[in-house]
Structure 1
Amino acid sequence: MFRRVVRASKFRHVFGQAVKNDQCYDDIRVSRVTWDSSFCAVNPKFVAIIIEASGGGAFLVLPLLKVWQIPENGLVTPLAEPVVVLEGHSKRVGIVTWHPTARNVLMSAGCDNLIIIWNVGTGEAMIQLEDMHPDVIFSACWSRNGALICTACKDKKIRVIDPRKEKIVAEKDKAHDGARPMRAIFLADGNIFTTGFSRMSERQLALWNPKSMEEPISVHELDTSNGVLLPFYDADTNVVYLCGKGDSSIRYFEITDEAPFVHYLNTFSSKEPQRGMGYMPKRGLDVNKCEIARFYKLHERKCEPIIMTVPRKSDLFQDDLYPDTAGPDCAIEAEDWFDGKNGEPILISLKNGYVPGKNRDLKVVKKSNVLEGKLAKKADNTSPAQSKASPHPCTQNEGKLEELLREVKSLRDLVTLQDRRIAKLEDQISKVAI
């Protein structure tokens, strides 16, 4: 049905193209965990991929959440200590997502059917949404300003939750009749976009108004494949990209106010099926080449970037393709959000390309929280004489000294590696000369 509709749209001729092999990331053992996740997270600096490891990745099965601070210029040596450890879930955690506008606010959902909202800056579990989901939570997504959450659950219900009031404000039973997993995301206008399966096992997509969820605004059947459709949404262009687990294609649709509201645009197809997918934020794209989306497709042992481009010949900045987009800076602090305040995303212009600001390290102020037991135990191991002889300024100096020593060690290790490489190259040159 989608292919029969021809309508005017600047995105109708968007085409996808995989990069050359020398621009791919090879020899990556992508995780085989049977979880319908994207397995990949991307920002303009780094690509993070869940990989196979001895034991299968212990952090997936332990009731711990570890938050790590990646150095500005990447890793020189392996990270040994997280910035903070969050404890609260009783089973493995499958969903972790940062608040879109409040600093240090993190949402997690686990196989214990529990959603926890954390203040990562203090290590505290501030809100626990219990008894709302009787079964596994398939997806959880913030609204654009982070005031609400929409979830998709194994009980076939879509729920809209006000997390600070700990209240369900809207829900839809049997949003998709099929037994396979659903996904639900908020759109910029407040509507909800879902993917799921029909009773006949056809893959579906639907659009809902959370103020009136009796009937969908629009619903469409796609095909009979069994791969869960993962939606990736561009709030600037109102384009939704659907990547099916195990598929070898990416379908994309434009959301408008005109019937049928969800308009098919095109499909990118390739030979290899995808095991997961990462999605680059808009500020990480090349605006000079009219790139409007970039995906990082996970193969069995490779990560392949795929670039979506609008075909235009002009070298000028395309204002209609790149309206001001959400930047990395937070509008409000965690404490403000927990006190009931909301903040809209802080927008930035991409006219001259994205220029990263000063790196902001995560600062953890340890209060009386879930970490208290560990801190008390550590304090007990310190003698009274040491405690009296260590005033607060001295502790700060010791912290700075340890940080400098770690940096010196990293530089020393880097120099050692370079020395070895130079010696190896000199040895090869001498052999060639002989």
Structure 2
Amino acid sequence: MNRFKASKFRHTEARLPRREAWIGGIRAGSVTSCGNHVKASCRWIAFNAEAAGVLGIVPLECEDGGKRTVSQLCCHSDVVTDFDFSPFDQLLLATGSADEMVKVWRLPESGQDLPGSAGLTLKSGGGPVDVLQFHPTADGVLASGAGKRVTMWDVGRQQPLTALDSHGDQLQSLTWKRDGRLLGTSCKDKKLRLFDPRASPAAFQSVPGHENNKDSRLLWMGASDCLISVGFSQMREREVKLWDTRRFSGAMLTVALDTSPG
């Protein structure tokens, strides 16, 4: 008797959408940054364009069966390093840039012109804004990372709530847990940190992460307490590590993605 139960997904396969649903002919940029290169809300898709400081904006749904029009949003005076849509307002887009600014834009309903200026500009300080992300459960709270500092912003009041200054080197990634209680960060000092920003001062734990200080990224595993980190080993091979944040010490699992030569 077979000890392993056959998966109900064993015969599934991916199906490409019809060609009419494709979005083609887009000239995306190749910006080197720690942030995202494409994000979507229920209304819009945003992506890095070729020109510095510009995002490409495409409506998710085309009207009357017509073709989607790619528009350009001139955001910053330097490279757009990261951007994120608010989970509470599908027309609200935050952008960060190498010009050390965080801007918040209100995109129009489909078929209308894009805004010529940001609704809100926040001066981050500390260097280029490398990463940013809206809080998943608190409306109007935005985390941005610049240099060695993470700043929590109250977008409605246009002021910082708190700053997390416990990093030893440049930030590479930040991610909110789905319930918003914890914030994880990865850093060029090869450490992962876990913050409770509600504590005063903000409480945190740190553990050794990947052995190479090349770019790394953190992601929460659904609604669980598990954190996934993607980075590089000492031999510059890509690897994925799985962490249990309830016992935040060594990684539970390490998977090498590259095969060593020889």
Tell me if TM exceeds 0.5: yes
1:161 Cα shift?
0.8
Q: Does the CA-based 8 Å contact 2:35-2:173 persist in structure 1? A: no
1:43 and 2:41 are equivalent in the alignment: yes
Distance 1:78 1:167 in 2: 38
Q: From the superposition, tell whether residues 178 and 27 of structure 1 become closer, same or farther in structure 2 (CA, over 3 Å).
A: same
5 Å-filtered alignment, 1:267-278, equals none
1:209 and 2:207 are equivalent in the alignment: no
- SS of alignment partner, residue 220 of structure 1: strand
Structure 2 residue runs without a partner (length 5+): 55-75, 79-96
Q: From the superposition, tell whether residues 152 and 51 of structure 1 become closer, same or farther in structure 2 (CA, over 3 Å).
A: same
1:97 and 2:139 are equivalent in the alignment: no
Structure 1 residue runs without a partner (length 5+): 1-5, 226-434
1:126 Cα shift?
1.2
Provide the aligned C-alpha RMSD in A. Answer: 2.4
Between Structure 1 and Structure 2, which shows a larger proportion of strand residues? 2
1:203 Cα shift?
1.6
1:67 and 2:86 are equivalent in the alignment: no
Between Structure 1 and Structure 2, which shows a larger proportion of helix residues? 1
1:140 and 2:174 are equivalent in the alignment: yes
The total of aligned residue pairs comes to 216
Tell me the residue number matched to 1:88. Answer: 124
Task: Write out per-residue CA displacement over residues 246-280 of structure 1, whole angstroms, 9 at most, x where no aligned residue.
Answer: xxxxxxxxxxxxxxxxxxxxxxxxxxxxxxxxxxx
Counterpart amino acid of 2:211?
D
Counterpart amino acid of 2:107?
I
1:15 Cα shift?
3.2
Tell me the residue number matched to 1:158. Answer: 192
- SS of alignment partner, residue 211 of structure 1: helix
Task: Write out per-residue CA displacement over residues 93-148 of structure 1, whole angstroms, 9 at most, x where no aligned residue.
Answer: 121211111110111112x2211101101111111112x11211111011121111
Distance 2:129 2:8 in 1: 40
Q: Does the CA-based 8 Å contact 2:171-2:185 persist in structure 1? A: yes
Distance 2:258 2:141 in 1: 38
1:18 Cα shift?
4.0
- SS of alignment partner, residue 14 of structure 2: strand
Counterpart amino acid of 2:207?
K
Counterpart amino acid of 1:163?
P
5 Å-filtered alignment, 1:281-360, equals none
1:180 Cα shift?
2.2
1:177 and 2:211 are equivalent in the alignment: yes
Task: Write out per-residue CA displacement over residues 230-253 of structure 1, whole angstroms, 9 at most, x where no aligned residue.
Answer: xxxxxxxxxxxxxxxxxxxxxxxx
Distance 1:75 1:124 in 2: 33
5 Å-filtered alignment, 1:96-135, equals 96-110=132-146, 112-130=147-165, 132-135=166-169
1:81 Cα shift?
2.7
1:194 to 219, 226, 229: 229
Distance 1:216 1:122 in 2: 39
Task: Write out per-residue CA displacement over residues 156-213 of structure 1, whole angstroms, 9 at most, x where no aligned residue.
Answer: 101001112243432111x221332221122312121111122222221121112323
Distance 2:228 2:151 in 1: 23
- SS of alignment partner, residue 127 of structure 1: strand
Distance 1:189 1:26 in 2: 36
Q: Does the CA-based 8 Å contact 2:126-2:148 persist in structure 1? A: no
Distance 1:51 1:224 in 2: 33
Distance 2:122 2:192 in 1: 27
Task: Write out per-residue CA displacement over residues 362-411 of structure 1, whole angstroms, 9 at most, x where no aligned residue.
Answer: xxxxxxxxxxxxxxxxxxxxxxxxxxxxxxxxxxxxxxxxxxxxxxxxxx
Q: Does the CA-based 8 Å contact 1:195-1:205 persist in structure 2? A: yes
Distance 2:236 2:99 in 1: 34
- Relative to the length of structure 1, the TM-score reads 0.46
1:32 Cα shift?
2.3
Q: Does the CA-based 8 Å contact 1:170-1:210 persist in structure 2? A: no
Tell me the residue number matched to 2:57. Answer: none
Higher relative contact order (CA 8 A, sep 6+): 1
Q: From the superposition, tell whether residues 178 and 11 of structure 1 become closer, same or farther in structure 2 (CA, over 3 Å).
A: farther
Distance 2:194 2:6 in 1: 34
Q: Does the CA-based 8 Å contact 1:170-1:211 persist in structure 2? A: no
- Relative to the length of structure 2, the TM-score reads 0.74
Distance 2:77 2:20 in 1: 32
5 Å-filtered alignment, 1:224-263, equals 224=259
Counterpart amino acid of 2:32?
T
1:55 Cα shift?
6.6
Tell me the residue number matched to 2:71. Answer: none
Tell me the residue number matched to 1:28. Answer: 26
Q: From the superposition, tell whether residues 123 and 11 of structure 1 become closer, same or farther in structure 2 (CA, over 3 Å).
A: farther
